[in-house]
């Protein structure tokens, strides 16, 4: 059987109907790692995403690449066993994490059991790559949201190797990566714990490269944090460190990369618009996200340092929660999850002018991102009105308390 679509998705130009063609690949690299003849390579397209290409001279039409593809072999929607609200007791750990620090607790438990933890980290070239660690000190680079698609490399092969050695493995990633790993392994392992995140979509690594150059202004950036909590969990900032030691930050509301990518969806991967792994389809044991409906959970101490939402999909995932050092583990109503964490269930919409954006990006580079992101900016008058509403709320609260 000839798997034509792997070749086609990389041969077409960007925009228009090509977006729908490229929805058939999420860039998980499972096909590359599983191919028995090593005749598949990943190549970057004009949007900065990796797609597989088959070398016809070596392909034997075995169809294995098709069988491990999470887009072609989607599972049905799967309702979680339960939702929970939780947070780590360690405030320092929560400040270093995107939400409530639950991933770090799971990872530390795994390592103390002699296991391996896989996660995404930035390398020395500021590329997001999947790697593993066997030490608690090695977990720090895996913490925090990265908001760019990672390179899986040969992580699935490494996972299989450690599993067959009998070691416990925690693999974390976005839902399509978890779905791909499951298909790659072709069997369930008792010593494997899979953890994905509530994913809005993965922005382009190509655009991220230009974004890093834009921020650096000629200087090399050696680290970036999209969820810096020094301005709070709900009002987080983007911060980055330059090679000369300078540390800079700004409110995430003014981050052009996140604005045009995650809010306006211009450079999300095409497969994200028809995600193959939403609504529990990934097969993960646990899904982690932010507890955005925290105001409805009085048992959680809202100190603006972060709290987590957990979706439990398996008994294995539920069982491990009792070993975590958390403040509370409170069952949650699914209606609140649907309202405040809708990305668990639905894919983002395709922008109507996505093709036009990429045409302008080809001409102007990151300046095109900046111009499109301005669509999100409120006017100065709107900013003043927001400030007035905040001050009015403070005044009324103080007035009501004085009456009491």
Look at the block and give the residue holding tokens 């714990």.
193
From 26, 28, 24, select the one nearest 152 (Cα to Cα): 28
What is the tens place of the pLDDT at every residue in 136-161?
999 999 999 999 999 999 999 999 99
CA distance 263 to 244: 32
What is the tens place of the pLDDT at every residue in 65-98?
999 999 999 999 999 999 999 999 999 999 999 9
**pLDDT, position 21:** 75
- pLDDT for residue 5 is more than 70: no
Pairing verdict, β 192-197 and 286-290: parallel
- pLDDT for residue 378 is more than 60: no
Do residues 115 and 91 make contact, with C-beta atoms less than 8 angstroms apart?
no
The CATH classification of domain 4-67, taken from the options 1.10.3470, 3.30.70, 1.10.10, 3.40.50: 3.30.70
- Name, in order, each residue with C-beta under 8 angstroms of 160's C-beta and a sequence gap of 6 or more: 184, 185
- pLDDT for residue 362 is more than 80: yes
CA–CA distances in Å: residue 225 to residues 90, 140, 256, 397: 20, 12, 14, 34
**pLDDT, position 377:** 53
Q: pLDDT band at 253, cuts 50/70/90?
A: confident
CA distance 397 to 391: 10
- pLDDT for residue 351 is more than 90: yes
**pLDDT, position 341:** 96
- pLDDT for residue 386 is more than 50: no
What is the tens place of the pLDDT at every residue in 208-217?
999 999 999 9
Q: pLDDT band at 58, cuts 50/70/90?
A: very high
**pLDDT, position 18:** 64
Q: pLDDT band at 39, cuts 50/70/90?
A: very high
- pLDDT for residue 368 is more than 50: yes
- pLDDT for residue 54 is more than 70: yes
Domain boundaries, the chain: 4-67, 82-202+268-344, 206-265+352-391
Do residues 85 and 307 make contact, with C-beta atoms less than 8 angstroms apart?
yes
Look at the block and give the residue holding tokens 């958390």.
326
- pLDDT for residue 283 is more than 80: yes
3-state secondary structure labels for all residues of 307-348: CEEEEECCHHHHHHHHHCCEEEEEECCHHHHHHHCHHHCCCC
**pLDDT, position 195:** 98
Q: Model-level pTM?
A: 0.88
Mean pLDDT score of the chain: 89
From 86, 384, 394, 101, select the one nearest 229 (Cα to Cα): 101
What is the tens place of the pLDDT at every residue in 284-343?
999 999 999 999 999 998 999 999 999 999 999 999 999 999 999 999 999 999 999 999
**pLDDT, position 399:** 44
CA distance 292 to 257: 22
Neighbour count for residue 217 (Cβ, 10 Å) = 8
3-state secondary structure labels for all residues of the chain: CCCHHHHHHHHCCCCCCHHHHHCCCCCCCHHHHHCCCCCEEEEECCCCCEEEEECCCCCCCCCHHHHCCCCCCCCCCCCCCEEEEEEECCHHHHHHCCCCCHHHHHHHHHHHCCCEEEEEEECCCCCEEEEEECCCHHHHHHCCCCCCCCECCCHHHHHHHHHHCCCCEEEEECHHHHHHHHHHHCCCCCCEEEEEECCCCCECHHHHHHHHHHHHCCCCEEEEEEEEHHHCCCCCEEEEEECCCCEEEEEHHHCHHHHHHHHCCCCECHHHHHCCCCCCCCCCCEEEEECCCHHHCCCCCCCCCCCEEEEECCHHHHHHHHHCCEEEEEECCHHHHHHHCHHHCCCCCCCCCHHHHHHHHHHHCHHHHHHHHHHHCCCHHHHHHHHHHHHHHHHHHHHHHHHC
- pLDDT for residue 171 is more than 60: yes
**pLDDT, position 251:** 87
**pLDDT, position 376:** 57
Do residues 171 and 192 make contact, with C-beta atoms less than 8 angstroms apart?
yes
**pLDDT, position 45:** 94
């Amino acid at each position: 059987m000839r798997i034509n679509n792997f070749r086609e998705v990389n041969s077409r130009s960007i925009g228009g109907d090509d977006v729908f063609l490229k929805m058939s690949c999420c860039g998980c690299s499972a096909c590359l790692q599983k191919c028995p003849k090593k005749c598949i390579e990943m190549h970057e397209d004009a949007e900065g995403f990796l797609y597989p290409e088959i070398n016809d001279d070596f392909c034997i039409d075995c169809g294995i690449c098709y069988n491990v593809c999470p887009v072609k072999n989607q599972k049905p929607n799967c309702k979680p066993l339960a939702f929970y609200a939780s947070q780590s007791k360690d405030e320092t750990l929560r400040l270093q994490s995107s939400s409530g620090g639950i991933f770090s607790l799971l990872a530390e438990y795994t390592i103390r059991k002699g296991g391996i933890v896989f996660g995404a980290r930035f390398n020395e070239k500021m590329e997001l790559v999947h790697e593993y660690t066997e030490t608690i000190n090695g977990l720090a680079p895996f913490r925090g949201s990265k908001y760019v698609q990672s390179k899986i490399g040969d992580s699935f092969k490494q996972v299989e190797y450690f599993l067959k050695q009998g070691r416990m493995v925690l693999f974390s990633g976005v839902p399509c990566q978890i779905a791909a790993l499951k298909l790659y392994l072709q069997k369930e392992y008792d010593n494997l714990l899979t953890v994905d995140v509530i994913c809005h979509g993965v922005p382009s690594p190509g655009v991220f490269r230009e974004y890093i150059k834009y921020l650096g202004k000629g200087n090399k950036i050696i680290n970036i944090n999209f969820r810096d909590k020094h301005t709070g969990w709900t009002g987080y900032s983007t911060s980055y460190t330059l090679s000369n030691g300078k540390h800079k930050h700004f409110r995430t509301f003014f981050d052009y990369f996140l604005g045009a990518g995650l809010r306006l969806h211009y450079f999300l991967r095409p497969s994200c618009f028809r995600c193959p792994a939403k609504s529990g389809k990934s097969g993960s044991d646990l899904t982690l996200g932010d507890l955005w409906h925290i105001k409805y959970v009085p048992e959680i101490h809202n100190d603006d340092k972060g709290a987590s939402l957990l979706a439990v999909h398996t008994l294995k995932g539920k069982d491990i929660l009792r070993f975590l050092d958390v403040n509370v583990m409170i069952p949650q109503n699914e209606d609140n999850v649907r309202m405040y964490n809708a990305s668990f269930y639905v894919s983002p919409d395709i922008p109507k002018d996505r093709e036009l954006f990429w045409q302008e990006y080809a001409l102007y580079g990151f300046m095109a991102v900046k111009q499109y992101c301005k669509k999100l900016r409120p006017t100065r008058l709107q900013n003043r009105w927001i400030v007035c509403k905040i001050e009015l709320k403070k005044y009324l609260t103080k007035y009501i308390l004085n009456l009491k």
